[in-house]
C-alpha cells in the first residue's frame, strides 16, 4: 500500500481534529481515501438482539467497553479511470442527538475534495447514516448536474413502502429512517442509476448487491493490479467477527444478514483482501483471519 500523493493537509484542519480523520491507500491503480464522518452513540443491546444480557456483558467487558459507546461512521472516496466516487455520505447534521457525526463535507474539503469533483456516488443502502450527508442544506446545489448515484433497484423499491416487522429499533428511529429515505428518493430520484445485482462504476470498482441488512444492501469491491479491497457497508459490525450469528436491530432480514456475513468473512479470509466497513473503528482498514469457529479482524499497520 502506498499513500495517495498530493492530498493537502491544512494546518487549520489538524487544529480542529484531535485525531486523523482520513486515511489514504492505493489498490493497484485505484486511489482510496477513507474518511470519518464522525461517530454515533448507540446502545449495544440494539446490536445484539438475539442474545442475553450476560453474553452481551461478557463481550463488552472483554473489550473494556460500556453498554453505550461510539460507533464509527466511515465513508470512502475512490479515484479510478478519471472518475471520483463517493461511497455513502454519512449522517448529515439534521438529526438531533448525534452531535459528533455529520462531518463529511468539512472533511472532504480538508482533503482537497470539493462536492463538485464527485462524478459518482454509490450508496450501500438508504439508512439515514448513509444518505444523510446528501440531504444537508446546500449540498445538492454544489453537486454536478450529471452526477450518477448508484443504488440497487430493490433498495429503491423497498423504501417506497418499507417493512420494519423484523427489526428491533427504538422509537422513533423507524419513522425517521422511512421519512429520510423517502425524502432522499424525492430529491435525488432523477440522478439515480439503479442496478439489479452488480454494476461496474469505474475500472476495477464494482457495486454488488448482498441483501440481508436491507433488501438492496450492496458492497463495493475494488480490484486492480492483483490487489483487492471490499467496502462492506453494514454487512459487518465490530461484534460480527467474534459472533457473526449475533443480530442487530437494524437488520431487515436477520437470518439472511448472518449468511451474508459468514460468506463475506470466508471469502476474505481465503483471499487475504483488505476490508473497510462503515461501523468498524476508523480507519477500518484490515483483513479477516479465521479464529477457530469465529473470525478475527487484523488491522493493517498504518502507512505514514
pLDDT tier at 11 (50, 70, 90 boundaries)? very low
The C-alpha atoms of residue 246 and residue 120 are separated, in whole angstroms, by 34
**Model confidence over 58-83: pLDDT tens digits?**
999 999 999 998 999 999 999 999 99
pLDDT, mean of residues 21-41: 96
* For residue 211, pLDDT beyond 60: yes
* For residue 7, pLDDT beyond 70: no
- What is the pLDDT at residue 218? 98
pLDDT, mean of residues 227-247: 97
**Model confidence over 261-302: pLDDT tens digits?**
999 999 999 999 999 999 999 999 999 999 998 999 999 998
Order of strands across the sheet with 227-231? Answer: 198-202, 205-209, 218-224, 227-231, 274-276, 286-291, 294-299
CATH of 11-299, one of 3.40.1390.10, 3.60.15.10, 3.40.640.10, 3.20.20.150: 3.60.15.10
* For residue 246, pLDDT beyond 60: yes
pLDDT, mean of residues 116-134: 98
- What is the pLDDT at residue 16? 61
The C-alpha atoms of residue 79 and residue 74 are separated, in whole angstroms, by 17
- What is the pLDDT at residue 17? 67
In the chain, where the domains are located: 11-299
Amino acid at each position: 500500500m502506498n499513500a495517495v500523493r498530493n492530498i493537502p493537509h491544512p494546518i487549520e484542519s489538524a487544529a480542529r481534529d484531535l485525531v486523523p480523520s482520513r486515511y489514504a491507500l492505493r489498490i493497484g491503480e485505484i486511489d482510496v481515501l477513507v474518511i470519518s464522518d464522525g461517530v454515533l452513540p448507540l446502545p449495544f443491546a440494539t446490536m445484539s438482539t438475539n442474545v442475553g444480557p450476560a453474553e452481551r456483558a461478557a463481550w463488552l467487558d472483554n473489550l473494556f467497553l460500556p453498554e453505550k459507546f461510539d460507533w464509527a461512521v466511515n465513508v470512502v472516496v475512490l479515484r479510478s479511470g478519471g472518475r471520483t466516487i463517493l461511497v455513502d455520505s454519512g449522517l448529515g447534521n439534521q438529526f438531533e442527538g448525534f452531535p459528533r457525526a455529520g462531518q463529511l463535507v468539512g472533511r472532504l474539503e480538508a482533503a482537497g475534495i470539493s462536492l463538485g469533483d464527485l462524478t459518482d456516488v454509490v450508496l450501500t443502502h438508504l439508512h439515514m447514516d448513509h444518505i444523510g450527508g446528501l440531504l444537508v442544506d446546500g449540498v445538492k446545489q454544489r453537486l454536478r448536474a450529471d452526477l450518477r448515484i448508484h443504488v440497487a433497484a430493490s433498495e429503491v423499491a423497498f423504501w417506497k413502502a418499507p417493512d420494519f416487522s423484523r427489526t428491533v429499533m427504538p422509537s422513533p428511529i423507524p419513522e425517521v429512517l422511512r421519512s429520510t429515505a423517502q425524502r432522499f428518493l424525492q430529491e435525488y430520484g432523477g440522478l439515480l442509476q439503479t442496478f439489479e445485482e452488480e454494476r461496474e462504476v469505474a475500472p476495477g470498482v464494482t457495486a454488488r448487491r448482498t441483501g440481508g441488512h436491507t433488501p438492496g444492501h450492496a458492497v463495493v469491491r475494488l480490484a486492480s493490479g492483483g490487489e483487492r479491497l471490499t467496502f462492506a457497508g453494514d454487512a459487518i459490525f465490530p461484534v460480527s467477527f467474534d459472533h457473526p450469528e449475533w443480530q442487530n436491530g437494524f437488520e431487515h432480514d436477520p437470518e439472511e444478514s448472518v449468511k451474508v456475513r459468514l460468506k463475506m468473512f470466508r471469502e476474505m479470509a481465503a483471499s487475504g483482501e483488505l476490508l473497510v466497513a462503515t461501523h468498524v473503528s476508523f480507519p477500518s482498514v484490515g483483513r479477516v483471519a479465521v479464529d477457530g469457529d469465529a473470525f478475527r479482524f487484523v488491522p493493517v499497520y498504518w502507512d505514514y
